[in-house]
Amino acid sequence: MDAENNEHFHPLLSAIEESMAVDAPVEIPANFDFSRLLPG
């Protein structure tokens, strides 16, 4: 994974880590672009 992808995933990873810490559902960042998760 290159730096650009890592930077893109950071808000989502942070949300997952926070939700795990408090045992709550993951809150997806409102502006998260799921199309970037797809190949191509």
CA distances from 3 to 10, 16, 20 (A): 10, 19, 24
Flag whether 20 is in a domain: yes
Split into its structural domains, the chain has a count of 1
Flag whether 27 is in a domain: yes
SS3 call for 36: helix
**CB-CB contact of 28 with 37 (8 Å):** no
Mean predicted confidence (pLDDT) in 10-39: 81
pLDDT value of position 10: 84
Res. 34 pLDDT band, cuts 50 70 90: confident
**CB-CB contact of 32 with 11 (8 Å):** yes
Structural domain including 25 reads 7-37
Flag whether 2 is in a domain: no
Share of the chain above pLDDT 70, in %: 85
pLDDT value of position 1: 52
Flag whether 1 is in a domain: no
Mean predicted confidence (pLDDT) in 14-39: 80
Mean predicted confidence (pLDDT) in 12-24: 82
pTM (two decimals): 0.42
